[in-house]
Structure 1
Amino acid sequence: MQPLAPRITLSVGYQSGTRAVVAFLMLGVVLTITCGGLCGVTARSVLAGLLVAAPVMLFYGLLMRSILRAGGWLEGSRLTVVNVATRTVDLRAARSVSLRATGSVKRTPLLTVTTDARTVKLILRSGEGVLLPPGELVALAAALDTARCPGAAETAGWLRAVAAGPRTML
């Protein structure tokens, strides 16, 4: 039996201190909307307020869940990304790998890995906007070396270049 590859946690999503602040802010928004719906004088206005507030609360609840759960890790050649749902791909089975920049003010690299079963997207910045540390970029590049598909070698090379000098991204 082969030993399990160590889990390398990627610095994506918000760190724990920021998560708490975001959670309290989102909770405040939800409570404000709910209280606004409940401040009616009649039962009809309370019901109308709740009907309006329910979809908004659902949206904010899903958004808060996504923010609080966001994360990712590598285990050997398996990349797992957690947002609203958890998605895992084996980089050895990738059909394509691409890297593109998103955002107009602050360029944020977005790694997209597609297999026969699914597509996983990983933003290479933390929730606070900090680029992944060089060690994590190199680990991701090493994991991409196992992929034999279009875009994998170029992406791994770019990740190593950015790990060596982040100004390469510009």
Structure 2
Amino acid sequence: MAGTGDDDIDEKLLVALQRLGRLMSSRQVASDISGAAGVELSQQGVQLLRALHRSGEAPVAALASASQMDIGAVSRQLRLLEDAGLVTRSSSPADRRVVLVDTTDSGARVAARIRDVGLRHLTESLSGWSATDRRRVADLLARLVTDLQRTDIRAADE
């Protein structure tokens, strides 16, 4: 029923999540983070290095999925990261058709700096929050992401 308290809460949550999504995918934020890490990388380059830092060596398709990018965009960005000496590509020994991507030593250091800058920013942003509140938000956000991924998106008139 429209106008109920639950509807108002859901709308407020949706707006907050949209704002968070825009903030986290902002080119300006990515630029600020890479600048603070001492490198000049595009938003997509930052995403790929972050994904590789978390996963280690990965097939291009898995990297695209992990960074929420299409294969074409990943390939273009990998070329730039390769030219900068931050990643390498090789064929999988198990299946020569599969291209594996990994960070170079320099790329791993850059990825670690990017992670450290992002983590420091988050830590400073949450400095007034209790450990209990930080833990609760982390747990609830993880649960929310899992539930959103599991739930089918339906048309508005269903």
Q: TM-score, normalised by structure 2?
A: 0.31
Larger Rg: 1 or 2? 1
Relative contact order higher in (CA < 8 Å, ≥ 6 apart): 1
Larger strand share, 1 or 2 = 1
